[in-house]
Amino acid sequence: MTPKETALALMDAALKAADPYLAVKRNLGIEGNHLVVSGEMFPVRGRIYLLAFGKAACSMARAVVDPLGERIEGGVIITKYGYAENCPGLGRLKVIEAGHPVPDENSILAGKLGLELAEKVGENDILLVLISGGGSALFLLPERGITLEDKIRTNELLLKSGAKIYEINTVRKHISAVKGGKLAKRVRGTVISLILSDVVGDPLEAIASGPTVKDPTTFGDAFRILRLYGVWEKLPESVKRHIELGLEGKAEETLKEDLPNVHNFIVGSNTLACESALAKAKELGYNALLLTTTLEGEAREIALAIGSVVQEIARYDRPIPKPTVLIAGGEWTVTIEGKAGLGGPNQEFALSIARKIAGLNAVVLAVDTDGTDGPTDAAGGIVGGKTLGLLREAGIDVEEALRRHDAYPALERVGALLKIGPTGTNVNSLVVAVIPKERWHVHYPSKGERGC
């Protein structure tokens, strides 16, 4: 197996571990009158209801319906427009498509139906909640008096303000009737949430804004953030009024304690995907190292850092001897100022690291696990020691392409784009570096030479 084939095999192993259907199937079963969830037993004394929201909602729901079938009394499935084609055979479950990343009226309808379902669950009943990426926009219910337009406007102001994502989520939770554990507060019976994490580090309260998880933040925190980033005076009046009521203790706070009837399980994540790739690498006989699952930063810069480690291994067999596989997961970004070309964070990562590994016998793959990197049909890129020479031979100025954030056409020109199509999952991004035992001398490829 060539280094390129190895990198692709490890990517496939990671994606399989993150498959929503398989993730739920691995963690959910039925034994007699008990549900078995990640090894824990839950007695079934009454009815079972199902609420699923997110881009993977249909696949996750099918993994519940397959073993439970007619035991499911009813429920609601909410997913992104165009994703309902993954929902056949879900029987009495109502399927709704809604807006993402910008919510719409169907998102609010989904929130209303989800809250109604939660309040319908009796003391002896079970509510299975399936959460995946996109849940914040798809499952939405603003607090009373706040319109959809007010909610969207508040989100836009926060996104443009420079606030960090956890700060934005703090505000979102405090103007929502279902986020920040408020959904769980409405359920009298048992709540079992199966969660596919799309957040670096898997903080439960951040995934889809934590509808079934306690929230450590307060109205005071939301107010401080809005003032800090200069957003407060620009807010819709309805949002300002609700937060003021919260500061006065006249509006419902988010959930602040662990509820004994609520159980949250992460069934799929970047961590699990990386660990699966790690196991596959060891199975193939490589000295494998999982560097991190919380890698964040500017794509082109962290690519140089990872490339430095690849270079050290290729030349000096340290910190781990060849043959080596390095794996890293997380979410990297691209900061755009002015007009940009075509590409995405993983394509920019690949183009940047090609400079650092030039002439080495190594292959590096960077992929967005949902199959779409930026506004393109590529999931990322796969490059090797020959790639920089091929780019130069093709007349491409790599530094200029990086400056213009125009990685897609550069990688396409030398056959280094990674196109895998929609995967049905989303657990952030993945980097795989393969450094075989054989060493190369530094050289650039001759005319007509192609590949990694």
**Distance of alpha carbon 84 from alpha carbon 207, whole angstroms:** 22
**For residue 27, how many other CB atoms are within 10 A of its CB?**
18
Residue 318 CB-density burial (10 A; 0-12 exposed, 13-18 middle, 19+ buried)? exposed
Please count the helices (runs of H) and the strands (runs of E) in the chain: 16, 15
DSSP per residue, 323-343: SEEEEEEEEEE----S---S-
Across the range 279-293, mean pLDDT stands at 98
Whether the Cβ atoms of residue 415 and residue 384 lie closer than 8 Å to each other = no
pLDDT digits (tens, 9 = 90+) for 195-252: 999 888 899 998 999 999 999 999 999 999 999 999 999 999 999 999 999 999 999 9
The number of CA neighbours under 13 Å toward the Cβ of 356 is 23
Query: What are the two backbone dihedrals, phi and then psi, of residue 434, each rounded to the nearest 5 degrees?
Result: -120, 120
Whether the Cβ atoms of residue 304 and residue 232 lie closer than 8 Å to each other = no
Across the range 154-174, mean pLDDT stands at 89
Is pLDDT above 90 for 411?
yes
Is pLDDT above 60 for 447?
no
Could you give all domains of the chain from N- to C-terminal order, each with its CATH number?
Answer: 19-268 (3.40.50.10180), 270-435 (3.40.1480.10)
pLDDT at 416: 98
pLDDT at 446: 43
Q: What is the pTM of this model?
A: 0.86
What Cα–Cα distance (Å) separates residue 145 from each residue in 149, 172, 175, 237, 423?
11, 15, 10, 10, 39
Q: Comparing C-alpha atoms, which of 118, 114, 138, 123 is closest to residue 198?
A: 138
